[in-house]
Homo-oligomer: A and B are copies of this chain.
Amino acid sequence: MNVFVIGVGLIGGSMALDMKAMDDAVLIFGIDHNPVHLDEALELGVIDQKATLEELEKADVVIVSIPVDATVQVLPKVLDAVHDNAIVFEVGSTKQNICSAVEDHPKRRNFLAAHPIAGTEFSGPKAAIKDLFRGKTNIICEVEKTAFKLQERALKIFTDLGMRIRYMDPKSHDKHIAYVSHLSHISSFMLGKTVIEKEKNERDIFDMAGSGFESTVRLAKSSPAMWAPIFEQNKENVIETLDEYINNLEEFKQLMLQDNFRAIYQEMENTNHIKEILNGIIINT
Protein backbone atom coordinates (compact mmCIF):
# COMPACT_ATOMS: atom_id res chain seq x y z
CA MET A 1 0.00 0.00 0.00
CA ASN A 2 1.47 3.33 -1.11
CA VAL A 3 0.89 5.96 1.56
CA PHE A 4 1.79 9.53 0.72
CA VAL A 5 2.31 11.83 3.67
CA ILE A 6 2.18 15.51 2.72
CA GLY A 7 3.81 17.32 5.63
CA VAL A 8 6.18 15.01 7.49
CA GLY A 9 5.76 16.64 10.90
CA LEU A 10 4.32 15.66 14.26
CA ILE A 11 0.96 14.31 13.08
CA GLY A 12 1.81 13.00 9.60
CA GLY A 13 5.11 11.59 10.79
CA SER A 14 3.58 9.86 13.79
CA MET A 15 0.89 8.30 11.59
CA ALA A 16 3.58 7.09 9.19
CA LEU A 17 5.55 5.45 12.01
CA ASP A 18 2.54 3.52 13.26
CA MET A 19 1.33 2.51 9.81
CA LYS A 20 4.74 1.16 8.87
CA ALA A 21 5.02 -0.76 12.12
CA MET A 22 1.61 -2.35 11.60
CA ASP A 23 1.92 -3.50 8.04
CA ASP A 24 5.02 -4.54 6.09
CA ALA A 25 3.20 -3.83 2.85
CA VAL A 26 3.00 -0.12 3.68
CA LEU A 27 5.43 2.08 1.79
CA ILE A 28 5.60 5.67 3.01
CA PHE A 29 6.29 8.44 0.49
CA GLY A 30 7.10 11.80 2.08
CA ILE A 31 6.34 15.18 0.54
CA ASP A 32 7.32 18.41 2.28
CA HIS A 33 8.09 21.95 1.17
CA ASN A 34 10.94 21.95 3.67
CA PRO A 35 13.83 19.86 2.22
CA VAL A 36 15.55 19.70 5.63
CA HIS A 37 12.47 18.12 7.18
CA LEU A 38 12.24 15.68 4.32
CA ASP A 39 15.87 14.60 4.81
CA GLU A 40 15.32 14.30 8.55
CA ALA A 41 12.19 12.21 8.03
CA LEU A 42 14.13 9.85 5.77
CA GLU A 43 17.05 9.56 8.20
CA LEU A 44 14.71 8.96 11.14
CA GLY A 45 12.89 6.24 9.21
CA VAL A 46 9.63 8.17 9.36
CA ILE A 47 9.32 7.85 5.57
CA ASP A 48 10.66 5.25 3.14
CA GLN A 49 11.33 7.64 0.31
CA LYS A 50 11.01 11.24 -0.75
CA ALA A 51 8.39 12.11 -3.32
CA THR A 52 6.69 15.01 -5.06
CA LEU A 53 3.09 15.94 -5.80
CA GLU A 54 3.65 14.70 -9.38
CA GLU A 55 3.85 11.11 -8.10
CA LEU A 56 0.46 11.17 -6.37
CA GLU A 57 -1.16 9.00 -9.00
CA LYS A 58 0.63 6.06 -7.35
CA ALA A 59 -1.04 6.74 -4.00
CA ASP A 60 -3.53 4.44 -2.28
CA VAL A 61 -3.71 6.69 0.78
CA VAL A 62 -2.79 10.37 1.05
CA ILE A 63 -2.45 12.03 4.46
CA VAL A 64 -2.47 15.82 4.25
CA SER A 65 -0.91 17.02 7.49
CA ILE A 66 0.15 20.61 6.89
CA PRO A 67 -1.07 23.96 8.30
CA VAL A 68 -4.76 24.53 7.59
CA ASP A 69 -4.17 27.46 5.21
CA ALA A 70 -1.88 25.30 3.09
CA THR A 71 -4.41 22.45 3.25
CA VAL A 72 -7.07 24.65 1.67
CA GLN A 73 -4.65 25.41 -1.20
CA VAL A 74 -3.16 21.97 -1.69
CA LEU A 75 -6.12 19.68 -1.14
CA PRO A 76 -7.94 20.37 -4.46
CA LYS A 77 -4.68 19.74 -6.34
CA VAL A 78 -4.15 16.50 -4.49
CA LEU A 79 -7.64 15.34 -5.41
CA ASP A 80 -6.96 16.34 -9.02
CA ALA A 81 -3.88 14.13 -9.02
CA VAL A 82 -4.99 10.92 -7.30
CA HIS A 83 -6.57 7.92 -8.97
CA ASP A 84 -10.21 6.98 -8.43
CA ASN A 85 -9.53 4.45 -5.69
CA ALA A 86 -7.30 6.60 -3.51
CA ILE A 87 -8.46 7.90 -0.14
CA VAL A 88 -7.22 11.36 0.79
CA PHE A 89 -7.66 12.57 4.34
CA GLU A 90 -6.43 15.62 6.21
CA VAL A 91 -5.98 16.12 9.92
CA GLY A 92 -6.37 19.86 10.49
CA SER A 93 -7.75 21.64 13.53
CA THR A 94 -10.43 23.51 11.56
CA LYS A 95 -13.01 21.92 9.29
CA GLN A 96 -15.41 24.43 7.72
CA ASN A 97 -12.98 26.11 5.30
CA ILE A 98 -11.34 22.86 4.37
CA CYS A 99 -14.61 21.07 3.64
CA SER A 100 -15.85 24.09 1.68
CA ALA A 101 -12.67 24.15 -0.41
CA VAL A 102 -13.47 20.75 -1.89
CA GLU A 103 -17.27 20.54 -1.62
CA ASP A 104 -17.75 20.80 -5.39
CA HIS A 105 -14.62 18.91 -6.36
CA PRO A 106 -15.30 16.05 -8.82
CA LYS A 107 -13.32 13.75 -6.50
CA ARG A 108 -15.06 14.86 -3.28
CA ARG A 109 -15.89 11.19 -2.65
CA ASN A 110 -12.17 10.43 -2.40
CA PHE A 111 -11.80 12.82 0.53
CA LEU A 112 -12.36 12.43 4.28
CA ALA A 113 -12.04 15.29 6.79
CA ALA A 114 -10.56 14.17 10.10
CA HIS A 115 -9.22 15.79 13.24
CA PRO A 116 -7.24 13.50 15.52
CA ILE A 117 -7.21 15.18 18.94
CA ALA A 118 -3.62 14.26 19.55
CA GLY A 119 -0.41 16.14 19.52
CA THR A 120 2.22 17.77 21.61
CA GLU A 121 3.59 21.30 21.65
CA PHE A 122 6.43 20.16 19.38
CA SER A 123 6.59 20.05 15.59
CA GLY A 124 8.63 18.71 12.68
CA PRO A 125 9.69 15.12 11.89
CA LYS A 126 11.78 14.90 15.08
CA ALA A 127 8.54 15.37 17.03
CA ALA A 128 6.99 12.28 15.39
CA ILE A 129 6.47 9.47 17.90
CA LYS A 130 4.97 6.01 17.88
CA ASP A 131 1.57 5.36 19.42
CA LEU A 132 0.65 9.05 19.53
CA PHE A 133 -2.95 8.29 18.62
CA ARG A 134 -3.75 5.33 20.87
CA GLY A 135 -6.82 6.06 22.97
CA LYS A 136 -7.31 9.49 21.40
CA THR A 137 -10.45 10.84 19.77
CA ASN A 138 -10.63 11.32 16.01
CA ILE A 139 -13.39 13.63 14.84
CA ILE A 140 -14.65 12.92 11.36
CA CYS A 141 -16.76 15.42 9.46
CA GLU A 142 -19.20 14.86 6.60
CA VAL A 143 -18.52 11.14 6.52
CA GLU A 144 -21.53 10.64 4.22
CA LYS A 145 -19.73 12.54 1.46
CA THR A 146 -16.93 9.98 1.26
CA ALA A 147 -17.27 6.85 -0.87
CA PHE A 148 -18.22 3.93 1.36
CA LYS A 149 -15.30 1.73 0.33
CA LEU A 150 -12.85 4.55 0.98
CA GLN A 151 -14.46 5.40 4.34
CA GLU A 152 -13.76 1.81 5.27
CA ARG A 153 -10.09 2.02 4.34
CA ALA A 154 -9.63 5.24 6.35
CA LEU A 155 -11.55 3.95 9.36
CA LYS A 156 -9.46 0.79 9.41
CA ILE A 157 -6.32 2.95 9.58
CA PHE A 158 -7.76 5.09 12.39
CA THR A 159 -8.91 2.03 14.31
CA ASP A 160 -5.53 0.36 13.85
CA LEU A 161 -3.88 3.49 15.22
CA GLY A 162 -6.06 3.04 18.30
CA MET A 163 -8.39 6.00 17.89
CA ARG A 164 -12.01 6.39 18.98
CA ILE A 165 -14.15 7.83 16.21
CA ARG A 166 -16.68 10.63 16.68
CA TYR A 167 -18.79 12.10 13.87
CA MET A 168 -19.64 15.78 13.75
CA ASP A 169 -20.58 18.43 11.22
CA PRO A 170 -17.83 20.96 10.34
CA LYS A 171 -19.68 23.92 11.86
CA SER A 172 -20.15 22.21 15.24
CA HIS A 173 -16.57 20.97 15.16
CA ASP A 174 -15.17 24.47 14.67
CA LYS A 175 -17.42 25.97 17.34
CA HIS A 176 -16.61 23.43 20.06
CA ILE A 177 -12.94 23.07 19.26
CA ALA A 178 -12.54 26.84 19.70
CA TYR A 179 -13.45 26.34 23.37
CA VAL A 180 -11.53 23.20 24.22
CA SER A 181 -8.43 23.76 22.14
CA HIS A 182 -8.00 27.08 20.36
CA LEU A 183 -8.76 29.23 23.41
CA SER A 184 -6.29 27.24 25.55
CA HIS A 185 -3.54 28.11 23.09
CA ILE A 186 -4.31 31.83 23.21
CA SER A 187 -4.55 31.86 27.00
CA SER A 188 -1.20 30.11 27.16
CA PHE A 189 0.55 32.33 24.61
CA MET A 190 -0.69 35.50 26.27
CA LEU A 191 0.25 34.22 29.72
CA GLY A 192 3.75 33.55 28.44
CA LYS A 193 3.88 36.99 26.85
CA THR A 194 2.71 38.73 30.03
CA VAL A 195 5.35 37.05 32.16
CA ILE A 196 8.20 37.46 29.65
CA GLU A 197 7.38 41.16 29.19
CA LYS A 198 7.42 41.75 32.92
CA GLU A 199 10.29 39.59 34.00
CA LYS A 200 13.19 41.02 32.04
CA ASN A 201 15.53 39.39 34.50
CA GLU A 202 14.73 35.84 33.59
CA ARG A 203 16.56 34.25 36.47
CA ASP A 204 13.59 35.31 38.57
CA ILE A 205 11.32 33.25 36.36
CA PHE A 206 13.63 30.25 36.42
CA ASP A 207 13.86 30.22 40.17
CA MET A 208 10.31 31.02 41.18
CA ALA A 209 8.26 29.25 38.56
CA GLY A 210 7.00 25.81 39.41
CA SER A 211 5.12 23.06 37.69
CA GLY A 212 1.87 25.05 37.73
CA PHE A 213 3.35 27.81 35.59
CA GLU A 214 4.92 25.25 33.32
CA SER A 215 1.60 23.49 32.83
CA THR A 216 -0.30 26.67 31.96
CA VAL A 217 2.30 28.02 29.49
CA ARG A 218 3.22 24.71 27.86
CA LEU A 219 1.13 25.42 24.77
CA ALA A 220 3.00 28.71 24.21
CA LYS A 221 5.77 26.57 22.74
CA SER A 222 3.46 25.65 19.84
CA SER A 223 4.29 26.42 16.22
CA PRO A 224 3.10 29.84 14.95
CA ALA A 225 3.06 28.45 11.38
CA MET A 226 0.46 25.95 12.47
CA TRP A 227 -1.55 28.17 14.81
CA ALA A 228 -1.84 31.54 13.04
CA PRO A 229 -3.80 29.91 10.16
CA ILE A 230 -6.03 28.03 12.62
CA PHE A 231 -6.99 31.29 14.33
CA GLU A 232 -7.56 32.87 10.93
CA GLN A 233 -9.78 30.07 9.67
CA ASN A 234 -11.76 29.87 12.89
CA LYS A 235 -11.79 33.62 13.45
CA GLU A 236 -15.44 34.11 14.44
CA ASN A 237 -15.61 31.26 16.91
CA VAL A 238 -12.25 32.10 18.42
CA ILE A 239 -13.18 35.77 18.90
CA GLU A 240 -16.40 34.68 20.60
CA THR A 241 -14.56 32.42 23.06
CA LEU A 242 -11.92 35.08 23.61
CA ASP A 243 -14.60 37.65 24.41
CA GLU A 244 -16.15 35.38 26.98
CA TYR A 245 -12.76 34.57 28.48
CA ILE A 246 -11.80 38.25 28.73
CA ASN A 247 -15.19 39.04 30.31
CA ASN A 248 -14.70 36.34 32.91
CA LEU A 249 -11.21 37.64 33.74
CA GLU A 250 -12.56 41.19 33.93
CA GLU A 251 -15.33 40.08 36.31
CA PHE A 252 -12.77 38.30 38.45
CA LYS A 253 -10.73 41.50 38.60
CA GLN A 254 -13.81 43.52 39.54
CA LEU A 255 -14.56 41.13 42.38
CA MET A 256 -10.99 41.61 43.61
CA LEU A 257 -11.28 45.40 43.38
CA GLN A 258 -14.51 45.16 45.40
CA ASP A 259 -12.75 42.95 47.97
CA ASN A 260 -15.44 40.36 47.35
CA PHE A 261 -13.27 37.35 48.09
CA ARG A 262 -16.30 35.38 49.17
CA ALA A 263 -17.57 35.55 45.57
CA ILE A 264 -14.08 34.69 44.30
CA TYR A 265 -14.08 31.62 46.55
CA GLN A 266 -17.46 30.67 45.11
CA GLU A 267 -16.25 31.15 41.50
CA MET A 268 -13.33 28.83 42.12
CA GLU A 269 -15.44 26.26 43.91
CA ASN A 270 -17.89 26.17 40.98
CA THR A 271 -15.04 25.74 38.53
CA ASN A 272 -13.48 22.93 40.58
CA HIS A 273 -16.14 20.87 38.83
CA ILE A 274 -13.55 20.71 36.01
CA LYS A 275 -12.02 17.87 38.08
CA GLU A 276 -14.76 15.50 37.02
CA ILE A 277 -14.52 16.71 33.42
CA LEU A 278 -10.77 16.14 33.35
CA ASN A 279 -11.24 12.72 34.94
CA GLY A 280 -13.55 12.04 32.04
CA ILE A 281 -10.77 12.96 29.61
CA ILE A 282 -8.24 10.81 31.38
CA ILE A 283 -10.57 7.84 31.54
CA ASN A 284 -11.57 8.21 27.92
CA THR A 285 -8.13 8.74 26.43
Contacts and interface: CB of A to CB of B under 8 A. Distances in A.
Nearest to A198: B179
A227 B266 CA distance: 11
A197 B244 contact: yes
A221 interface: yes
Interface stretch (A9-17, A35-43, A52-60, A209-217): A209-217
Contacts of A218: 212, 215-216, 278
Main secondary structure of the interface of A (DSSP, over half): helix
A155 interface: no
A264 to B, nearest CB: 5
A181 B208 contact: yes
Nearest to A243: B253
Interface residues of A, number: 97
Question: How many identical subunits does the complex contain?
Answer: 2
Interface stretch (A97-105, A143-151, A182-190): A182-190
Interface of A: 117-121, 136-137, 139, 164, 166, 176-177, 179-181, 183-199, 202, 204-222, 224-225, 227-229, 231-232, 235, 238-239, 241-246, 248-250, 252-253, 256-257, 259, 261-262, 264-275, 277-278, 280-282, 284-285
The 9 lowest CB-CB distance pairs between A and B, nearest first, are: A224-B268, A228-B265, A180-B209, A192-B274, A184-B216, A117-B210, A206-B280, A190-B248, A192-B271
